[in-house]
Amino acid sequence: MFNSINNLTTQDAQVACFENAARHLVPGGCFVVEVGIPNTRRLEVFDLSDAHVGVDEYDADTQRLVSHHFSLRDGHWTRASVPFRAVSPAELDLMARLAGLLLRERWSDWRRKLFTAESTRHVSVWEKPAE
């Protein structure tokens, strides 16, 4: 489930996801996402080991994020690149509000650790209000 909303690579697709979720919720029902906080650096190494190198490439103008995975397999390095659209918690809150959902809770992890400015990810819960 982690970063699944970012697999939708346009803002329109992300907004449509919130609208679709809201249509399927009964009052009191919740839509939950877990997503990383976008970095602000153009390039960031997120994993470095003997058999894997992970590098995020970020364009702040378009919010396009590409995760490049270089993996050592059978003595050869392979590369896989996965496109995402990075999105802030505030932008997700706006998408939710446009879909008629209200932020109910936000944590730094599934154990409900407090979400702070230093958090690197969040679990956010939006609720469909009673009619």
Residue 59, pLDDT score: 95
pLDDT of residue 48: 97
On whether the CB atoms of residues 38 and 88 are closer than 8 A, the answer is yes
| pLDDT tens-place string over residues 19-65 | 999 999 999 999 999 999 988 899 999 999 999 999 999 999 999 99
Distance of CA 99 to the CA centre of its chain: 18
Query: What topology does CATH give the domain 1-37+87-131?
Result: Rossmann fold (3.40.50)
Q: Are 126 and 104 in contact (CB under 8 A)?
A: yes
Distance of alpha carbon 119 from alpha carbon 107, whole angstroms: 9
Per-residue pLDDT at 123: 97
* Model pLDDT for residues 56-73, shown as the tens digit of each residue: 999 999 999 999 999 999
Q: Tell me the average pLDDT across 108-126.
A: 96
Rounded Cα distance between 96 and 84, Å, is: 19
The pLDDT score that the predictor gives to residue 38 is 83
